[in-house]
Structure 1
């Protein structure tokens, strides 16, 4: 998928892409937000669909996110394996405000549709609720802490 401004989102392929996704997450979550590294990477990374956003001109990484499916998604969303779980959405500071996050969400939703899923759930940091609401997600349930950061569960039905 190529977005305005030359941003291209694609499913990560191979070890190099996966390492790039992890490096983006480390920069955003561990270095910027202070999430302990041992909490950032988990057992779900192995089976996840990782999506990478790169700059079209030179392929420089801009952001990443992941989609959990099946039993892994069900653990995250309360037991429904027909609902995907979007997570670990991270955009490098230099790429924020360029629409990269929205393009990543759309690419992850496309990956979910391609796997026959009817909806996508996510746990949003509360400061990002408006971002996800603009993309069609609806918050539900109470606020809860994750890695010491307040979150809310959100869901979007896919059409």
Structure 2
């Protein structure tokens, strides 16, 4: 893998790439209904794009209240620390913006990943789009 880089994305300008990644991961792979994937939060969220070279391979979003969501890395790039780099960039940006607490709804199978980045489970398990999730919170130092 060549080096990756992460940048803030613009929901309007980068819409095709953001949608391509999220459609591949959530709609095609995980069978999330499209009407649940797209919401009004996208317009106000801060979006991130991860690139390998000039090819977008992952995305995430940060809401103004500190909620992180839609964390997705294309299948061929999983297990290569792309998600780790992406989440660290989101957390750094959240802290820069004064968001001392970050929250997310994690798929249960991904909780060890988030725990390594300082998140703790704060809810019982529940279904979101038919996938088991838990709420997780991280407080900045």
User: Which residue of 58, 83, 86 maps to 1:63?
Assistant: 58
1:89 corresponds to: 71
1:19 lines up with 2:1 in the alignment: no
RMSD over aligned Cα atoms: 1.4
Structure 2 CA distance for aligned equivalents of residues 50 and 87 of structure 1: 10
Structure 2 CA distance for aligned equivalents of residues 48 and 15 of structure 1: 11
Shift, 1:18, TM fit: 2.8
User: Which residue of 26, 32, 35 maps to 2:29?
Assistant: 32
* Runs of 4+ in structure 1 over 4 Å off: none
TM-score by length of 1: 0.84
Report if aligned partners of 1:18, 1:50 keep a CA contact under 8 Å in 2.
no
TM-score by length of 2: 0.95
Gaps (5+ residues) in structure 2? Answer: none
Gaps (5+ residues) in structure 1? Answer: 74-83
Aligned length: 141
CA deviation vs aligned residue, 1:7-57 (integer Å, no higher than 9, x gap): 1111103634232112100000000000000100001000000000001x3
Structure 1 CA distance for aligned equivalents of residues 49 and 10 of structure 2: 9
CA deviation vs aligned residue, 1:46-96 (integer Å, no higher than 9, x gap): 0000000001x3x10110000011xxx3xxxxxxxxxx0000000000110
